């Protein structure tokens, strides 16, 4: 399955609650990404990290936070500031050097629902 795992598969959040989505990869990839997918739409970039201890905002970062303390792990926290968090969240990683564009491998996704 591409060496990227996400947990949990399904997550339910109450309003006002922070939740953290896990993403782990054993592909030795430097770059990792978080995307959000809404029904019938494409994927939108939330945050990305090109290297350990560094991460940058994507196109829809408001209400989300990340960390990259280890190469293998890139957890995403959905905070209470995210007003419409119900969506399918996909983590991805990419190998190769900084000057290359290579395939991004996706994890199986986490479906988050706000109750």
Partner 1 sequence: GENVEQHPSTLSVQEGDSAVIKCTYSDSASNYFPWYKQELGKRPQLIIDIRSNVGEKKDQRIAVTLNKTAKHFSLHITETQPEDSAVYFCAASQPFTGRRALTFGSGTRLQVQP
Q: Which residues bind partner 1 (CB under 8 A)?
A: 31, 33, 40-45, 48, 50, 56, 58-59, 90, 94, 98-109, 111
Q: Which is nearer to partner 1, 17 or 103 (CB)?
A: 103
At closest approach, how far in Å is the CB of 19 from partner 1?
A: 20
34: β partners: 47, 91
Contact 94, 103 (CB under 8 A): yes
Kindly tell me which of 43 and 52 has the beta carbon lying closer to partner 1. Answer: 43
Distance, CA of 8 to CA of 109 (rounded, Å): 8
Q: Please state the closest distance from residue 35 (CB atom) to partner 1, in A.
A: 8
Start-to-end C-alpha separation, the chain: 30
The residue (of 84 and 101) whose beta carbon lies closer to partner 1 is: 101
Separation of alpha carbons 19 and 76, rounded Å: 8
């Amino acid at each position: 399955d591409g060496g990227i795992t996400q947990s949990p598969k399904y997550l339910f959040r109450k309003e006002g609650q922070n939740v953290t989505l896990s993403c782990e990869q054993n592909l030795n990839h430097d770059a990792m990404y978080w995307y959000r997918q809404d029904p019938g739409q494409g994927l939108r970039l939330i945050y990305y990290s090109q290297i350990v201890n560094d991460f940058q905002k994507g196109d829809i970062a408001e209400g989300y936070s990340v960390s990259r303390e280890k190469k293998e792990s890139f957890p995403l926290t959905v905070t209470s500031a995210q007003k419409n968090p119900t969506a399918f969240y996909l983590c991805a990683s990419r190998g190769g050097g900084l000057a290359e564009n290579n395939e991004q491998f996706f994890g199986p996704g986490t479906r988050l629902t706000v109750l």
